[in-house]
Structure 1
Amino acid sequence: MEERVYHAGIAGVTSLAGKDLHEELGQSVMAAADVRLLDHEELAGQLEATDDEMSFIQKIDAHAFEGLDVVFFAGSAAQTAESWNFARKAGANIVDLSYALESEPETLVQAPWVEQALAAKGTGTLPGLSTVAVVAAHPASLMLALIAARAGKSLPLKSLAAVVYEPASQLGKETMDELHQQTLNLLSFQNLPKEQYDAQAAFNLLPEFGESALQRLSVTENRIRKHFDLLAAGRLPEVALQVVHAPVFHGYTASVLVEFAEPVDLPLLERALEGEHVEVLLGDAEPPSNVSAAGRKEILVRLPEDAGQAVSRVWLWLAADNLKLAAQNAIACAVELEKLRPQGKVQ
Structure 2
Amino acid sequence: MSNRLSSRLARLLNLVPYFIANPGISPAEAAEELGVSTTQLMTDLNQLWVCGLPGYGPGDLIDLSFSEESIEVTFSAGIDRPLRLTSTEATALLIALRSLVEMPGMVDPSSAQRAIAKIEDAAGSAAARAIGQDRDTSPAPDIAEDPIAATVRAALADKTALRLTYYSASRDAVSERIVDPVRIVLVDNYSYLQAWCRQAEGVRLFRFDRIDAAVQLDEPADPPPQALEEDSNLELFSGDGSLPEARLFITKEWVWMLDYYPMDVEHVNGDGSVEATMSFGTLEWMARLVLGFGEGVRVLHPPELVSEVHDRAVAALDAYDVIGS
Shorter-chain TM-score: which interval?
Answer: under 0.3
TM-score (norm 2): 0.24
TM-score where L is the length of structure 1: 0.23
Q: Which has the higher helix share?
A: 2
The structure showing larger relative contact order (alpha-carbon pairs under 8 Å, at least 6 residues apart) is 1
Larger radius of gyration: 2
